[in-house]
Structure 1
Amino acid sequence: MLDTKKNLALIELLQINLPNWFETAKRDLPFRRTKDPYFIWVSEIMAQQTQIDTLIPFYNRFIDHFPTIFCLALASEDEVIKAWEGLGYYSRARNLHQAARTIVSDYDGFMPDTLAELIKLPGIGPYTGGAIASIAFNQKVSAVDGNVLRVISRYANSFDDISDTKTKNRITAWIDSILPEAAGAFNEALMELGAMICTPKSPKCQNCPICSGCQSHAAGTTGQLPVKTKKQQQLTKEMEVGIVRQNGRLFFVRRPDSGLLSGMWSFPITEMTVGHGLDIKKKLGEFFPELNDPILIGTSRHVFSHIIWEMSVYAFNLDEMVCETPAHRYRASTDGDPLSTTQTIFKALAQIDDLALPIAFSKLLPLLAD
């Protein structure tokens, strides 16, 4: 990092030019029109795994459903997950819900205003806590995300690996040491610069308000920075999905409370071993003693952050078969679910809007058209 004594001019450039640029160049976003900590909190949680431009309609929908912390706390988990539908990483929604209940029960519905208290809440780490504390409560704390790590690495021409916790801690401590009084605006400006100007590829250096002090720009190393260890390659799994129909209704299962897509509704799914629909037929046979031969109706691919599902989708029709009513409990397969029991339900296609159905499964619905 830059020495705060030897590089005072460069630090002052960062402290002055960056907030001035942000004041005129910042995007007009709904959560920037308020200092309400609840709205800022929701937006920051959504932004953890989603691009800002992408999340705006989801943010508006979520706030329409739950305009206050009390509304969120009083909602059921199914209602919260449904309002979050399409954003993915559903643990974020569950943490929001749980934290809202804690805020109502322990803080009388008022968000805590210090970083130390904020990070005690589910889903709020140092970055999110710093963003809320500085933007909503004018606390002099940093908020260091990937954008900020990239900007500072380039500005200081640092080749330290930003995926290393020690590097992140060092950058965080350095930013803490140079924060101006208006820390919230400074933090937002750093994030905005990384999102709009100092982008991972093809940064717009000619439009950068701090380009004259950027050490990597001067050294011609911008394209090499930041240094970041590559993520582990995604694992691909061959999966089989079972679409069971009876009297115009579809069979759904609720996934376990932990693991991938936890607590959400899905079509039955299992990892392929034999293939040709025999694996999912065997799984469904645990509570449907008689099933027709599987009929392949299509394939689909869904990419998670750490795993890829290559899905073969098979149809089963119970209309002309004598079957017992399926067991009320469904034992999940080892397709990424821990062995667990979960609820089952039959629903008409026109009545599934109230189900929290993740995109991995909702995008299979066009395959069901007769």
Structure 2
Amino acid sequence: MLDTKINQQLIAILQTDLLKWFKKDQRKLPFRQTKDPYFIWISEIMAQQTQIDTLIPYYNRFIDKFPTVFSLALASADEVIKAWEGLGYYSRARNLHQAARIIVADYDGLMPDNFAELIKLPGIGPYTGGAIASIAFNQPVSAVDGNVLRVISRYCNSFDDIGEAKTKKRMTHWIESILPEAAGDFNEALMELGALICTPQNPKCLLCPIRSGCQSHAAGTTEQLPIKAKKQKQTTQKMEVGIVKQNGCLYFVRRPDAGLLSGMWSFPIAEAATGNGQDIKKKLGENFPELNEPVFIGTSRHVFSHIIWEMSIYGFDLDSMVSETTAHSYLVTNQQESRSDRDTAFKALSQVDELALPVAFSKLLDQLTGFNVTNSIILSTS
């Protein structure tokens, strides 16, 4: 059990020595040069599933494109998803966009300055709300992520399972009970210690600023902690992907608003039951009633956090049904139509970059060289 009665001397070490170390040795990150809640919000959302060193160039590009909450709110969903491309877990980007619109509409473009209001926004949970509230507004609330759970488990020599909600709740309350005046700095310091020193494997105990108070270091249990039950084993799904070609263009569809890769563009895909391309042909038949037999192109594998797609890729070469003149006419008469309102599109290879295409599908493009895809037409839609 977490020892919430750990003596005041050990609490003082955690409070003072940790903050001294953080002030001296913290990484000079772009979002630490400001207390602007908008920038802190963006960085915290990105950091949820991405290493800090990895996200920095994405963060800089995103802020360059959307420097204010107003610019983010006014952007289209496709623009936001495209700017997020490469970071994965795209629900984060959709929630950012939705929350930005709420902030502009309901809060006059000002981030809420308290935890209770922050966690009402899409995509902002207790950790992110605590991080923004404490770092930007110095509210006395905790921000407990995996790094913090690990640090506190070791410091207190706790064998509680950090995967359990009750453990996180207990640690959250305990941290809030010992927060120093500089709450935001303390929260960041705990996270930074977990990222740089108190790492999951091979922690750098000799460099740790709070080693003298660490109970697991004293007990020799550092390598055993934290305790966390094993994640559920990933499941594997056999999938069929349809590559539909028409006049040198490829057919894309927008995925449903809920579920895996929701709202993003993809090649048509179906779970394999019959096999040999017949499942994806049946699905495509809803829009293309006359299809040739599928041509096997190759295979690909993509690993998500909880599922693995083993994909068989099949090609369908349509007769020319849309002339360049017709396509050009479509563009002229529909140039004011928002791309986000259309759920299917033919795109030339030169235009594929315009789509927010997740890695699971963009990496398939390299396998299409033998499918005779050219850039002969600009755009058509079904």
Give the TM-score range, shorter chain.
over 0.9
Which residue matches 2:318?
318
For residue 32 of structure 1, report the CA deviation from its aligned partner.
Answer: 0.8
SS in 1 for 2:343: strand
Tell me the distance in 2 between the aligned counterparts of 1:62 and 1:237: 33
Whether 1:15 aligns to 2:40 is: no
SS at match of 1:363: helix
Correspondence 1:222-301 to 2 at 5 A: 222-301=222-301
Q: Report the TM-score, using the length of structure 2 for normalisation.
A: 0.89
Match for residue 114 of structure 1?
114
Residue 72 of structure 1: aligned partner: 72
Partner of 2:95: 95
Task: Please name the residue that 1:48 is paired with.
Answer: 48
**Mapped contact 1:157–1:221 kept (Cα < 8 A):** yes
Alpha-carbon contact 1:291-1:321 (below 8 Å) kept: no
Hey, what's the Cα distance between the residues in 1 that align with 2:226 and 2:152?
Answer: 9
Per-residue CA shift, 1:147-197, capped at 9, x if unaligned?
000000000000011111111111001100110000111100000000111
Secondary structure class of the residue paired with 1:116: helix
CA contact (8 A) 1:303 1:309 kept: yes
Question: Which digits, 9 at most, give the CA deviation of each residue in 1:112-162, with x for residues without a partner?
Answer: 111011111111111101100111111111110010000000000000111
Instruction: Give the secondary structure class of the aligned counterpart of 1:251.
Output: strand
Deviation (angstroms), 1:57: 1.3
Partner of 1:151: 151
Give 1:250's aligned amino acid. Answer: L
Distance, in Å, in 1 between the alignment partners of 2:250 and 2:66 is: 30
Alpha-carbon distance in structure 2 between the residues aligned to 1:295 and 1:17 = 65
Distance of 1:43 and 1:140 partners within structure 2: 20
- Gaps in structure 1 of 5+ consecutive residues: 326-341
Distance in 1 between the 2:241 and 2:105 partners? 41
Query: What TM-score results when the alignment is normalised by the length of structure 1?
Result: 0.92
Corresponding residue of 1:177? 177
Distance 2:176 2:286 in 1: 58
**Cα separation, 2, equivalents of 1:124 and 1:310:** 33
Partner letter of residue 289 of structure 1? P
Q: Is the 8 A contact 1:290 1:321 kept in 2?
A: no
Match of 2:160 in 1: 160
CA contact (8 A) 1:299 1:310 kept: yes
What is the Cα deviation at residue 280 of structure 1? 1.2
In structure 2, list runs of 5 or more residues that go unmatched: 327-341, 371-382
Identity of aligned residues (%): 77
Show CA shifts across 1:35-66 (max 9, x none).
11000000001111111111111111111110
Q: 2:147 is matched by which residue type in structure 1?
A: N
- What residue identity is the alignment partner of 1:366? D
Query: Deviation digits for residues 320-348 of structure 1, max 9, x if unmatched?
Result: 799xx9xxxxxxxxxxxxxxxx8211110
Stretches of 4+ aligned residues off by more than 4 angstroms: none
Counterpart in the other structure of 1:62: 62
Distance in 1 (CA, whole Å) between partners of 2:127 and 2:366 is 40
In structure 2, the residue corresponding to 1:243 is in which secondary structure?
Answer: strand
Which SS does the other structure have where 1:364 is aligned? helix
Tell me, in whole angstroms, the C-alpha distance in 1 between the residues paired with 2:102 and 2:363.
35
Counterpart Cα distance in 2 of 1:2 and 1:14: 14
Shift of 1:286: 2.2
Alpha-carbon distance between aligned partners in 1 of 2:193 and 2:298, rounded to the nearest angstrom? 44
